[in-house]
Structure 1
Amino acid sequence: MDEDPVDDPRPVTIEDGVVTRPAGPWSPTVHDFLRHLRARGLTCVPEPLGVADGMERLVHIEGDSGGDGWRHQHSEAGLRSAAALLRRIHDASLDWSPPPDGVLQEPVAVVGEGEAVWCHGDVGPWNMVWHDGEAVALIDWDFLHRAPRVDDVAYALQWFAPARDDELALTWHHFPEVPDRAARVHSFLDAYGDLPPFDVPEVVARRMEATMALELRIARAGVEPQRTWVAEGSQERAAAGVRWVRDHAELLRP
């Protein structure tokens, strides 16, 4: 969950094919979830290796991610592959139950109706691993939570449509020209498949507001980097983004 995807200041290392990163109280529960998905044949999430001494270890998935992931979602094929990947993960999550002592992050306010699944909570090109323009994995599951499918889908559409102004689409998302957002929304929803009808711009705006509320709660607890983001104006920038979505709703309706 980022105001915008930025480099995480926490010390993350990759050595001998293993990612080592700081763990949270929720990390053992997330690892249980990842083991569940992998037991169902999904190799599109990291293989967890355990949590010890405040650090978690996972098998590194080779490919482009982080800042290198943005360009892959420009194409129709990349966009549709991201939606299809999210659908496969949601479907495989349905029968998982957290362990009795399981801990999850402070829950987000969910949006939308329909069947509840286990949601990633931070679906964007930076948290996907890409090979040859195709999304092959979804990583960084710190915001795992249960919600209707559209909760994750609406979050993703903010970044994949993108539900952002023309300048950001060109400079931040690096599109070569302003994209046809409505067409991209249609493609993403079509590739995901079988969702109940929903008003895309309004649900995206509400999901953005839920993200803002979660960021503010985390920041007020003194957690970094959210505390710094809020101090530097992230809430105001996000509120402006929500206004843009509502003011330009016609650009996002497929």
Structure 2
Amino acid sequence: MISVVGAAIVRHGCVLAARRSYPPAEAGRWEFPGGKANPGEAPNDALTREIAEELGCGVRVDHWLTGSVGGVDRGRRLELRVALCALVDGEPTGTEHDALRWLAPEELDDVDWLEPDRPFLAELREVLLEGEPLPGGNVGGAVRIGDTVRRPTGPWTPAVHALLHHLADAGLQSVPRVHGFDARGREILDYLPGEVIDVDAEMLSDAKLAALSRWLRALHGAAEGFEHPGPWRFFGVDAPTLITHNDAAPYNVAFDGDQVAGVFDWDLAGPSCRAADLGHTAWTAIPLFRPIPAREAAHRLTVFGDAYGTTPLAVLDAVQPRVQVAIDGIREAVRRGDQGMVNLAAGGEPERTEVALAGFLARRAAIRALL
């Protein structure tokens, strides 16, 4: 029996399909790239060799999909197996195929697969739906599949989608478009590429800080007049005046150079006010939760306030009330069983924020004196 191996190369939740150009009976149809193992050659070795020869790239074999498919070629019995693989070197090029496509799980049926490859598609579809877990954000559960992000939904999702549609219609940049729901009931949104700054390890530059503040002002302008009864996930502030993001923090922002390229994790959107949004973004982006020197905090508050068009004192005074809303809201959401907030609690919230807030209050007078 001749062993035939195929590679389901997966990247960002999509699989690589290759279109045959020969023989005539198979030209124009799609397959998993691969080929025949040499006598005595281990399947993993055969697959990595074939992919290097066919596609000019290196792969790592992760595991083999269930089952195999038998066949006959010129009187010889064949057995095809397909393995999940990851790219480790280079970019695939179609030296032996006339087209290559990265297919998301919803696109697997868009191409005409060769019959031997079809039995592997059902299992592969479930693998692709797992996606690539994304870092950042606050509550977890987001995965990337191709140019989209899949996220768990909740009672608040219809209201959030209505807000995102409104902001897109208003021309606000750097917000994800909504593309409906996937087979697992998750929302499908644009993947927004860019650099996410870890403010636990470094600080936003003055230019990035100002860009985030200007984007926040643009958001508030675009949200004026939008109304929706909800329900919303955000725990709320006293006397809300507009519906906004409520978590425009560096962990939810992607930058392209010094400019805001994307703002994601809109699940906490809901009724709030400009001051609360400013206070939360200052808390996370100055960042005032860290014990940075008072003079540096005052300078960065000035940069942030000037870019928005308000005073740094107004921003400073907005911080403590908004942080207290977060502390109280997390506890209430955990009590209600909100799984995302339960995840936060497992990471030490809101106790960690309470400690940070006490430190900020001890430093606030020194910062105020420099403003």
Question: Which structure is higher in helix share?
Answer: 1
Q: What's the TM-score once normalised by structure 1's chain length?
A: 0.80
2:187 match? 56
The alpha-carbon distance between structure 1 residues 230 and 40, as it changes in their structure 2 partners (threshold 3 A), is closer
Determine if the alignment matches structure 1 residue 143 to structure 2 residue 268: yes
Which amino acid in the other structure matches residue 247 of structure 1?
A
Q: How much does 1:153 deviate?
A: 0.3
Aligned residues: 233
Q: Comparing both chains, which one has the higher relative contact order based on Cα–Cα distances under 8 Å and sequence gaps of 6 or more?
A: 1
Unaligned runs of 5+ in 2: 1-135
Structure 1 or 2, whichever has the larger Rg, is 2
Alignment partner of 1:136: what SS? strand
- 1:17 aligns to what? 147
Report the Cα distance in structure 2 between the residues aligned to 1:121 and 1:211, rounded to whole angstroms.
10
Task: Tell me the amino acid that sits aligned with residue 190 of structure 1.
Answer: D
Per the alignment, do residues 226 and 66 of structure 1 end up closer, same or farther by CA in structure 2, a change over 3 Å counting? farther
1:209 to 324, 338, 349: 324
Q: Which residue of 2 aligns with 1:87?
A: 217
The aligned amino acid for 1:150 is: A
Q: Give how far 1:40 is off.
A: 1.6
Identity level (%): 24
2:237 corresponds to which residue? 109
Question: By how many angstroms is 1:199 displaced?
Answer: 6.8
CA distance in 1, matches of 2:353, 2:312: 27
Q: Aligned partners of 1:249 and 1:199: how far apart in 2?
A: 12
Q: Which runs of 5+ in 1 are unaligned?
A: 170-176
Q: What is aligned with 1:192?
A: 308
Could you tell me the TM-score, scaled by structure 2's length?
0.56
Deviation at 1:198, TM superposition (A): 3.0
The residue correspondences of 1:1-254 to structure 2 (distance < 5 A) are: 8-10=139-141, 12-51=142-181, 54-65=185-196, 67=198, 71=202, 74-98=204-228, 102-110=230-238, 116-166=241-291, 180-194=296-310, 198=314, 200=316, 202-230=317-345, 233-253=348-368, 254=371
Equivalent AA in structure 1 for residue 225 of structure 2: D
**How many Å separate the matches in 2 of 1:91 and 1:231?**
36
Shift of 1:108: 2.1
Match for 2:283: what amino acid?
A: Q
CA deviations 1:173-202 (Å, max 9, x no partner) are: xxxx997001101110110114796371x4
